[in-house]
């Protein structure tokens, strides 16, 4: 990291080259077993949690409570994964020949490139970085251009925890230059990417060209199904936080609410009431419930989707829909939490990832129709159902093609010991977190035969 810090001062090209070479010059074999990810790192993150939280809110706007949760995720990830360093199991098995001993062990992949988005600026880097270290790898990490500080804080904590220089290398910069430099670099054996599906496709192509391992976590268009037997207040609560938490800028955001016709009116009315009451403002104010969106580009994108919803898609704008510009709002990127009702499932606002405080209520006549609507998008990250009927819940769970599924709970809320990831346009089959991430970050199944005479 000392090298990486020096490297930061250099121009992009030199910076990349130096970071890669400083990582490569370290013998990663020495780091097997999680020796460098001790609970010491967790202690440092706990000690400085408040500062990291404030930094994050200042950096990207999410409300303090959520920023604290983001830092906590890094803490949880550190403690959980450090323990996994003692459980990097392989296996032994009988061999065909009597004089052979067969076993499989895990080996580090080598130098890993980690590319992360801005919406979970410490949690997502930690999800990649910590298990990569526990598996004995070295890393080059590039945070999103909007959120270098939170990742810098994490990397500095690694340094303080005693992880040797050169093992963790931070580079900052834009995706098309620094990001592409990572995906194209021949020394990087693996690239772990989280971001939009369009960028993920570019990353995957670059990795395919040079046969690098590539793990992708991408966009979502997640649905909550609300059945006619649901606890409506509970469903509304889940929808509000799923749709408007982190100002809707979550890969797991509840951007579609597929509601049974029998409870549709009641649900929509309560949802609009709850949404109108949300307090939008500065994330650093503890009373704020919904913070700003990330930047001016995001405002334009989200406002253009609101326009598409009203006109092209002919949906009903039930509440919100405006950029807030008066008073203090003039200094930021604030958009009213927005609900569209009577949304047809094939329209753009019901198909495309808006990544802002906008959700679409879609009517359905039956459970099977609701499941069909839920599945009818290019993404497959998270889905949920609100129902009192266990058979309906299991039916929906089995028929919904997503990586994550909830019953009577919103589409959000990952846990570090559970595998996280999606299907279709959301992922390419890998999972993060849990023990599953270790399979991606280590070369599994290396059979060794010993001629034991
Ligand atoms: P993005 O795709 O714009 O950028 C993600 C990262 O990729 C950034 O660090 C960026 O600099 C880099 N990048 C951009 N172009 C690149 C290129 N050509 N080569 C290499 N790297 C490049 O995404 P974003 O706007 O930062 O984040 C929002 C997106 O991330 C949303 O689509 C959201 O759903 C997704 N996301 C997914 C998950 C998940 O786990 N599935 C989690 C969070 C966010
Ligand atoms: Mn982007």
| Selection from 78, 87, 197, 195 nearest residue 142 by Cα | 195
Residue 17: predicted pLDDT: 62
Residue 96: predicted pLDDT: 81
CA distance 354 to 437: 28
User: Is there a contact between 39 and 155 (Cβ–Cβ < 8 Å)?
Assistant: no
Residue 58: predicted pLDDT: 97
Query: What phi and psi values does residue 137 have, to the nearest 5 degrees?
Result: -90, 165
User: Is there a contact between 127 and 115 (Cβ–Cβ < 8 Å)?
Assistant: no
Residue 27: predicted pLDDT: 44
Residue 83: predicted pLDDT: 85
Smallest-distance ligand from the CA of 142: 1
Smallest-distance ligand from the CA of 201: 1
Over the chain (453 residues), what is each successive 10-residue block's mean pLDDT?
Answer: 38 55 49 60 96 98 97 95 86 80 85 97 97 92 98 96 90 97 96 97 97 97 98 98 98 98 98 98 96 98 98 97 96 97 98 98 98 98 98 97 97 94 96 92 71 59
Q: Which atom of ligand 1 is nearest to the CA of 381?
A: 41
Name the closest-CA residue to atom 37, ligand 1: 218
From ligand 2's centre to the CA of 196, what distance in Å?
7
Name the closest-CA residue to atom 12, ligand 1: 175
CA distance 150 to 243: 24
This prediction's pTM: 0.92
Q: Which atom of ligand 1 is nearest to the CA of 199?
A: 2
Mutate to test the pocket of ligand 1, among 149, 199, 222, 245 (most ligand atoms within 8 A of CB): 199
From ligand 2's centre to the CA of 173, what distance in Å?
13
Residue 217 appears among annotated catalytic residues: yes
From ligand 1's centre to the CA of 191, what distance in Å?
13
To 10 degrees, the CA torsion angle through 214, 215, 221, 225? 140
Residue 448: predicted pLDDT: 65
CA distance 172 to 147: 9
Residue 191: predicted pLDDT: 98
Residue 419: predicted pLDDT: 95
Q: Which tokens go with 247?
A: 């100002």
Residue 135 appears among annotated catalytic residues: no
Q: Which residues line ligand 1 (CB under 6 A)?
A: 115-120, 124, 142, 144-145, 174-176, 179-180, 183, 194-196, 199, 202-203, 217-220, 251, 353, 355, 381, 422, 426
Q: Which of 112, 207, 251, 319 is catalytic?
A: 251
CA distance 250 to 252: 5
From ligand 2's centre to the CA of 53, what distance in Å?
22
From ligand 2's centre to the CA of 112, what distance in Å?
22
Smallest-distance ligand from the CA of 419: 1
The CA-CA-CA angle for residues 413, 414, 415, to 5°, reads: 120
For the chain, what percentages of helix, strand and coil (3-state, to nearest 5) are there? 45, 20, 35
CA distance 400 to 100: 46
């Amino acid at each position: 990291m000392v090298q990486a810090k020096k490297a930061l001062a250099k121009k992009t090209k030199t910076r990349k080259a130096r970071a890669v070479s400083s990582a490569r010059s370290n013998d990663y074999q020495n780091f097997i077993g999680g020796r460098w990810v001790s609970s010491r790192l967790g202690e440092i993150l706990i000690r400085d949690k408040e500062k990291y939280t404030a930094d994050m809110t200042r950096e990207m706007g999410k409300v303090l409570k959520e920023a604290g949760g983001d830092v906590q995720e890094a803490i949880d990830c550190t403690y959980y994964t450090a323990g996994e360093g003692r459980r990097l199991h392989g296996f032994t098995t009988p061999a065909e020949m009597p004089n052979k001993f067969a076993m499989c062990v895990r080996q580090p992949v080598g130098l890993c490139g980690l590319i992360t988005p801005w919406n979970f600026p410490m949690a997502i880097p930690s999800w990649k970085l910590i298990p990569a270290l526990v598996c004995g790898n070295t890393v080059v990490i590039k945070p999103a251009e909007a959120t270098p500080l939170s990742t810098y804080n994490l990397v500095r904590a690694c340094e303080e925890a005693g992880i040797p220089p050169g093992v963790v290398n931070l580079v900052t910069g834009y995706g098309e230059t620094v990001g592409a430099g990572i995906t194209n670099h021949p020394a990087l054996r693996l690239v772990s990417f989280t971001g939009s599906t369009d960028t993920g496709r570019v990353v995957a192509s670059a990795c395919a060209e040079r046969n690098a391992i590539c793990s992708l976590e991408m966009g979502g268009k997640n649905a909550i199904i609300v059945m006619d037997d649901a606890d409506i207040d509970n469903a509304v609560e889940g929808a509000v936080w799923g749709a408007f938490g982190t100002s809707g800028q979550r890969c797991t955001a509840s951007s579609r609410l597929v509601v049974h016709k029998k409870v549709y009116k009641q649900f929509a009315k309560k949802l609009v009431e709850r949404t109108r009451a949300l307090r939008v403002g500065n994330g650093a104010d503890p009373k704020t419930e919904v913070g700003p969106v990330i930047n001016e580009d995001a405002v334009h994108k989200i406002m253009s989707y609101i326009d598409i919803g009203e006109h092209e898609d002919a949906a009903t704008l039930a509440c919100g829909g405006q950029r807030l510009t008066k008073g203090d709002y003039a200094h930021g990127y604030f958009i009213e939490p927005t609900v569209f009702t009577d949304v047809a499932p094939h329209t753009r606002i019901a198909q495309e990832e808006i990544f802002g405080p906008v959700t679409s209520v879609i009517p359905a006549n039956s459970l099977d129709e609701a499941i069909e609507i839920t599945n009818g998008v290019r993404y497959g990250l998270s889905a949920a159902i609100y129902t009192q009927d266990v058979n309906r819940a299991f039916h929906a769970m089995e028929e919904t093609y997503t990586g994550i599924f909830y019953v009577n709970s919103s589409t959000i809320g990952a846990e570090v010991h559970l595998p996280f990831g999606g299907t279709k346009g959301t992922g390419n089959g890998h999972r993060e977190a849990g023990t599953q991430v270790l399979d991606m970050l280590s070369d599994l199944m290396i059979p060794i035969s010993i001629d034991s005479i």
